[in-house]
Amino acid sequence: MPKIVYLDSLPAQNGIDILENQSSIEVVRIKSNGNHEDSFLELKDAHAYQVSAARDEVPKIFQVDKEFLAKTPNLLLVSSGGAGYDTIDVEACTENGILVVNQTGGNSEAVAEHAVAMILNLLKKINESDIALRKGWNGERTEFLGLNLLNKTVGVIGLGNTGGRVSEICKQAFNCKIMAYDPYINHDRFNEIGAQKSSLEELLSESDIVTVHIPLNKETKNMIDLDFFLKMKKGSFFITTSRGSIHNESDLEEVINSGHLSGAGLDVWDKEPPEASHKLLNYDNVIATPHIAGVTVDSRNKMSEFVATQLLKIMNGGDPERPVNLDVVEVFKEKFKKIKI
């Protein structure tokens, strides 16, 4: 019988109910704060492992790396609880013929709405005026002279589910010009959304707002550095709801401090949550949230359903709906056939 082991919980209870309300697959829960030896006894004969995508929520011992894989010889599949997979070494899994799946698209609406909310907040200086009022401000309203989003140019880096939805909202609701950079998306996707396919340099120099929607991997780690920020249009705004460590926080603080950028909206950080003493938290024109863009009741339920239904489908012999390492799918299928049911 195929066996699924999940760490701590799923994004919401409905996914757990789906997993446990069936009898064809064994489902076992292990706990981060439980006995690690007992947990790895369960993992030793597991065929699938479900883990959160947030690296600061998962103890290192339960993150999927070469050491973890050495202790889980029967593992065929690793499932991330989110669209990202920061807790999974995909390269190591691929080398071992282990399929990795995620839940891309499950929280795209929530994250897109959050990104647009940050854009509006920055343009309208809502955060700045709120802080000022709480400190007893009694000046001229023109101190908070803002901007309209209508007809602005929005640069979208990453035109997947979330980036595409941000583009749609900005284009349809605010008549924005959308410039998009994504070397992994075909031209039809740009046409479908009505986005102008752009080079990264062109996007940075012309956009009033730059919003980032890409995964964290070897290619993107520290991709957004001082050179990137200095290529952005002076007075523009930077938004990211993707993953911490893609943008260099010290470099961003430098361009905020110099006035090159007018503000930033940050939902993701190198360390989550960031320390209260973090330099970027000293600026009123920096909106900070603790990686909560996708944390809504609606998205958590959808993500949890995605997790459970995809795991059960695969463990019942079906095709993965959201594979991360496509090259391993056929290898996985051959391995799966050997499981004694």
Distances in Å between the alpha carbon of 301 and those of 11, 173, 242, 298, 306? 7, 27, 20, 5, 9
Which parts of the chain are beta strand (E)?
3-7, 26-30, 48-51, 77-80, 99-101, 153-157, 177-181, 196-197, 209-212, 237-240, 263-266, 286-288
How far apart are alpha carbons 48 and 44 in whole angstroms? 11
Which amino acid would we find at residue 300? Answer: R
Token reading at 319: 């095709």
Rg (CA), the chain: 22
| Rounded alpha-carbon distances, angstroms, from residue 82 to 66, 105, 168, 169, 245 | 21, 9, 22, 22, 17
Catalytic site residues? 243, 272, 291
Is the CB of residue 106 less than 8 Å from the CB of residue 84?
no
Query: Cα 129 to chain center, whole Å?
Result: 29
CB of 243 within 8 A of CB of 270?
no
Beta bridge partners of 49: 5, 78
CA atoms within 13 A on the CB side of 293: 33
Q: How far apart are CA 268 and CA 213, in angstroms?
A: 11
Structural contact between residues 2 and 25, judged by C-beta atoms closer than 8 angstroms: yes
Q: How far apart, in whole angstroms, are the C-alpha atoms of residue 96 and residue 194?
A: 41
- Contact between residue 12 and residue 35 where contact means Cβ atoms under 8 Å apart: no
